[in-house]
Structure 1
Amino acid sequence: MYIDNILFAIILIAGIGFFAKNVKKLKRNINLGHDVNRTDNPSARWKNMAMIALGQSKMVKRPVAGLLHIIVYAGFIIINIEVLEIIIDGLFGTHRVFSFLGGFYGFLIGSFEILALLVLIAVIVFWIRRNIIRLKRFASSDLKGAPKRDADTILYFEMVLMSLFLLMNATDLHFQAMNSGNIISQYINPWFTSLDLAQVEAIELTAWWMHIIGILVFLNYLYYSKHLHILLAFPNTYFADLNAKGKFDNLESVTKEVKLMMDPNADPFAAQPVDENAVPGKFGASDVQDLNWVQLLNAYTCTECGRCTSSCPANQTGKKLSPRKIMMDTRDRMEEVGRNMDANKGVFVPDNKSLLNDYITAEELWACTSCNACVEECPVNISPLSIIMDMRRYLVMEQSAAPQSLNAMMTNIENNGAPWQYNQQDRLNWKNE
C-alpha cells in the first residue's frame, strides 16, 4: 500500500512541478512586453472579472454556444473539487475520505455526476459543431492544422475525464452500496454485474488512476493550448482597458516632442543627458517586445472562438484580416522568442524575424476599419485592435509605409488643412463633396 502512496506522491509532485515551471516561463514571456499601468479603478476591474470571467456574461450573447460553454465551465470547475478527495486518498491510502459527511457527501457527488453527464453531452455537441456541421468560424484557414488538432484534443480530454469519473463511481462497490450520490452511476453499474469482484475492483482502480493522471496531464497541456484561457481569463478581464472603446493612447515620446515644440520657453538645442547604452525608443510596434504586457497577456488568453473574426466587417467583405489570427500570430511569435531565450540561457539572440511581416502582413493591418467590433465581441475582453494600431504606428512613423491613398490624405491635411487638394482659401469646399 505504501508503494502506491509513494508512487502517487511522485506523480503528483512531478505534475505540479512541471506546471509551475511552465507558469514561470509564461510569466517571463508576458513580461517581454513593456510596462503599462492597469491598477486604476480596482472596483470596476473586480466587477469586470466577476461579470465576464466568472459570470460568463459575454458568452451568452450567442445563446447556444453560451449555454453549452457555461455547462462545461461550471461542470469542469465544480467536478474537480473531488480532486481534493482523490489527492488525500492517494497520499494517505484512505478511500473516499469525505464520505463521513453523510447525506451532504451524497448530495455533492450526485451533483457532480449530473454535471459530468451534462458536460459530456455539451462536449459532444461542441465536437459535432466543429467537425460535422463545420460552422464557418471553425472552418477558416487560420484554424487548420495544429489549432484544429488542439481544439479537438481538448474535447477528447474532457470526454475521457468525464467518462472516467462516472466509470470510477459506477465500479466503486462501496460507493454504490451507500446508495447516496450515485444518481447517474447506478445506471452504469449493471454493465459490470457479470464480472467477478476482483475484475470490478481492477476497473475501478484503473479508472481512479487514469482520472487523476489525466487531470495532471490536462493541467500541463494547458500551457501549450488555447485552453490556457481557463486560467488567464480572470487576470485578463481584470487588467482590461477601462477607457471607452475608440479612445487611443498617445505615444509618450511623441507627446514630449510636441510639448517641447509648443513651449515658447523651451530650448530645443539644449544639451540633453545621453545614455550611450540606451536603445532608442521605437514608435509603434514591429515585434512582441514593442507591445505592452497586457497585449501579450491578451494573446495567451485568446480562446480562438472566432467571434471577433466572424463580426469583423473587413473579414466579411473578403479582406485578409482576421482578428483571431492577429492574436494567434502574436502568441506564436511570443513562443518563438521564448524558445530562443531558452536556448540561449535566458537571453534573446536576434533571429532576423519579427511579428511584422514574418507573421502579420501590412495588408492585414491596413484592412482594419478600427470599428472595435472584435473588441466588443470577445468574451474575455481581448483587444486585437490595440495590437493592430500599434503596428500601424510603426509602419507610418518608422517606415513611412502607409498606403498611397492615406499618405495623400495626410499630405493634403498637412498642406491644405483638409483631406482634399484645395488651397487654404478653398479648404471648406470639402463640404460639398
Structure 2
Amino acid sequence: MAYLDNIFFAVVLALGVGYFALNVKKLMRNIKLGQAVNRTDNPKARWNNMLMIALGQSKMVKRPVSGIMHILVYVGFVIINIEMLEIVIDGLFGTHRVFAFMGGFYSFLIGSFEVLAVLVLVAVVVFWARRNVLKLGRFASTDLNGKPRSDANIILYFEIVLMSLFLLMNASDFWLQQAGVSHYVSAGSFPVSHFISPIFDGLNEGTVVLLERTFWWMHIVGILIFLNYLYYSKHLHILLAFPNTYYADLNAKGKIDNLESVTREVQLMMDPNADPFAAQASTDAVPAKFGASDVMDLNWVQLLNAYTCTECGRCTSSCPANQTGKKLSPRKIMMDTRDRLEEVSRNIDANKGVFIPDNKSLLNDYITTEELWACTSCNACVEECPVNISPLSIIMDMRRYLVMEQSAAPQSLNAMMTNIENNGAPWQYNQMDRLNWKSE
C-alpha cells in the first residue's frame, strides 16, 4: 500500500513540475517574440543590480511599511519551502522527516520555519486589509478592476492556506510524536505547533494520522497548484525579478537611445564624403519599422518587463501626469502590454506555432494615444519600480511610431518640429534674430 502511495506521489509531482515546465517554455517563447537587444555589457554592475534589488529588496524598503512586510513574506515563503526537499524525498521513498538525523540543527530549522510562517500570516493579513478594507489609492484604481483585483486576493488566500496547512501538518505530527505512534519519529522543534496540537486531544490516533496525512498532501499539492498558477498571475515576478533586474538598462535614466536607422541618415547628411549608395547596399532593402505599434515591435527586455510587473502601482502613484488627472497609468501600460502579448500567444497556439494577423495591435486596441502623449518622460515610474521595469521605454517607442510612421504627433509638437526645421530652434523666430535671443 505504501508502495502505491509513493508511485501516486511521483505521478502528482511529475504532472505538477511537467506542466510548470511547459508554461516556462511558452513564457520564453513569448519573450523571444521581441526584437533583439544586447544587454550583456558590464556584468559586474548587472550582478550587483540583481543581488541588491531582486534578492536584497533594496528598492522595496523605500516605502518601509509595505517594504518590510514584503521582505517577511518573501524570506518566509522561500525559506519555508526549503522543506519541500524533505517532503519530496519522504513522498518518493516513504520515509518520514528524513532530515531528522541533523539533530539540533534540524530542530532549529523547523522552529525557524514555524516562526516565519506566523510572520508571513500576519503580513499577508495586513496586505489583505490594505487592499480590501483600507482600500489604499493605488489598490483601488480602476486599472485593477476585474481579474487583476481578484488575482491579487487569490494570491493572498493561497499564502494563508499554505502557511496554515504547514502549521497544522506540524501540529498533528507533533501530537503523534508525543503519543509515540510508530513512524512518527521524535524530531524537530515546534514553538508554534506546540500550542496548536491540543486541538487534536480527544481524537484517536488513527484519526490524527489521517488528518496529518491530509494536511501533508494538501500542503504539497497546494504548492504545486500555486507553482502552476504563477504563469497566469502577477506573482510571476517571484521568478522573473532576477533576470529582469540583471538585464535592466544601465544607462542614466535621462538617456534615451537613438534609432540606428535615423542616426545613419543624419550621419549621411552631415558627412559630405559619405557614399549614400554604399550605405544603402549595406542595409536591408526594406527599412526597419520606426518605433512600435504592437508587442512584436518591442524588444525582448520590454516583454520581460511586462511579465515581471507585480501591479503594485508604485509607478502610477508617483506619476505626475496621473496625479494631475491625466489618463496615463504606467502600471496599465505594463498590464496592457502583457495582455496583448498573451493574446498573441493564444493566436500562435491556435495556429500551430504561427501568428496569424488578427487586425489588432497594442496601439489603440490596448493603449490610446491620449495615454502616450500624457507622459512627461520624467522617469518617476522607472525610479519607483521595485524590480527596475521601464514603462517609459515602451511609451517612447510607441510615440516614435506615431511620429515617424503615422505623422500623428500633437499639434504643439508638430509646430515645434516645424520651427526646428525652418528656424533651427523650437521657437517661431526668424534665424536673422538669433543673436537677439542671447541674454545680456
Q: TM-score, normalised by structure 1?
A: 0.97
Label 1:359 to 1:428 Cα distance change in 2 as closer, same or farther (>3 A).
farther
Whole-Å separation in 2 of the counterparts to 1:269 and 1:40: 33
Whole-Å separation in 2 of the counterparts to 1:427 and 1:259: 25
**Match for residue 101 of structure 2?**
100
Label 1:429 to 1:410 Cα distance change in 2 as closer, same or farther (>3 A).
farther
Secondary structure of 1:57's counterpart equals coil
**Match for residue 65 of structure 1?**
66
**Match for residue 401 of structure 1?**
408
Whole-Å separation in 2 of the counterparts to 1:271 and 1:398: 22
What are the Cα deviations for residues 274-323 of structure 1, in whole angstroms up to 9, with x where unaligned?
A: 999x7641000101111110010000000100000000000000000000
Whole-Å separation in 2 of the counterparts to 1:427 and 1:138: 51
**Match for residue 368 of structure 2?**
361
2:124, 2:156 within 8 Å by CA — same for their partners in 1?
yes
Q: Find out whether 1:419 has 2:426 as its counterpart.
A: yes
Q: Find out whether 1:78 has 2:79 as its counterpart.
A: yes
**Match for residue 211 of structure 1?**
219
What are the Cα deviations for residues 81-134 of structure 1, in whole angstroms up to 9, with x where unaligned?
A: 000000000000001111111111110000000000100110010000000000
Label 1:307 to 1:407 Cα distance change in 2 as closer, same or farther (>3 A).
same
**Match for residue 330 of structure 2?**
323
CA drift of 1:176 comes to 5.2
Deviates most, 235-244 or 255-264? 255-264
The match for 1:341 among 341, 348, 361 is: 348
CA drift of 1:420 comes to 2.0
CA drift of 1:429 comes to 5.0
Label 1:412 to 1:235 Cα distance change in 2 as closer, same or farther (>3 A).
same
State how 1:194-209 maps to structure 2 within 5 Å. Answer: 194-209=202-217
**Match for residue 118 of structure 2?**
117
CA drift of 1:265 comes to 2.3
1:116, 1:166 within 8 Å by CA — same for their partners in 2?
yes
Structure 1 residues not aligned, in runs of 5+: none
What are the Cα deviations for residues 174-221 of structure 1, in whole angstroms up to 9, with x where unaligned?
A: 455737410100000001102111111111100000000000000000
CA drift of 1:269 comes to 4.8
State how 1:8-19 maps to structure 2 within 5 Å. Answer: 8-19=9-20
Whole-Å separation in 1 of the counterparts to 2:18 and 2:30: 19
Label 1:368 to 1:431 Cα distance change in 2 as closer, same or farther (>3 A).
farther
Secondary structure of 2:276's counterpart equals coil
Q: TM-score, normalised by structure 2?
A: 0.95
**Alignment: residue pair count:** 431
State how 1:16-415 maps to structure 2 within 5 Å. Answer: 16-172=17-173, 173-175=175-177, 178=186, 180-269=188-277, 272-273=280-281, 280-415=287-422
Whole-Å separation in 2 of the counterparts to 1:386 and 1:268: 31
1:417, 1:427 within 8 Å by CA — same for their partners in 2?
no
Whole-Å separation in 2 of the counterparts to 1:339 and 1:411: 43
What are the Cα deviations for residues 327-383 of structure 1, in whole angstroms up to 9, with x where unaligned?
A: 000000110111100011111110001000000000000000000000000000000
Whole-Å separation in 1 of the counterparts to 2:265 and 2:424: 22
Secondary structure of 1:369's counterpart equals coil
Whole-Å separation in 1 of the counterparts to 2:268 and 2:123: 60
Label 1:275 to 1:317 Cα distance change in 2 as closer, same or farther (>3 A).
closer
What are the Cα deviations for residues 128-185 of structure 1, in whole angstroms up to 9, with x where unaligned?
A: 0000000000000010100001000000000000000000000013455737410100
Label 1:407 to 1:354 Cα distance change in 2 as closer, same or farther (>3 A).
same
Query: What is the percentage of aligned positions where both structures have the same residue?
Result: 79
Whole-Å separation in 1 of the counterparts to 2:129 and 2:337: 29
Whole-Å separation in 2 of the counterparts to 1:179 and 1:208: 16
CA drift of 1:262 comes to 2.3
Whole-Å separation in 2 of the counterparts to 1:160 and 1:271: 63
Structure 2 residues not aligned, in runs of 5+: 180-185
1:240, 1:381 within 8 Å by CA — same for their partners in 2?
yes
CA drift of 1:260 comes to 2.0
Label 1:112 to 1:427 Cα distance change in 2 as closer, same or farther (>3 A).
same
Whole-Å separation in 2 of the counterparts to 1:350 and 1:274: 30
Label 1:274 to 1:348 Cα distance change in 2 as closer, same or farther (>3 A).
farther
**Match for residue 3 of structure 1?**
4
1:315, 1:321 within 8 Å by CA — same for their partners in 2?
yes
Whole-Å separation in 2 of the counterparts to 1:355 and 1:179: 56
Label 1:371 to 1:213 Cα distance change in 2 as closer, same or farther (>3 A).
same
CA drift of 1:389 comes to 0.4
1:106, 1:180 within 8 Å by CA — same for their partners in 2?
yes
1:52, 1:379 within 8 Å by CA — same for their partners in 2?
yes
- Which amino acid is the alignment partner of residue 21 of structure 2? A
CA drift of 1:261 comes to 2.2
CA drift of 1:267 comes to 3.3
Whole-Å separation in 2 of the counterparts to 1:431 and 1:92: 84
Label 1:352 to 1:108 Cα distance change in 2 as closer, same or farther (>3 A).
same
Secondary structure of 1:188's counterpart equals helix
1:307, 1:378 within 8 Å by CA — same for their partners in 2?
yes
2:100, 2:188 within 8 Å by CA — same for their partners in 1?
no
CA drift of 1:273 comes to 4.6
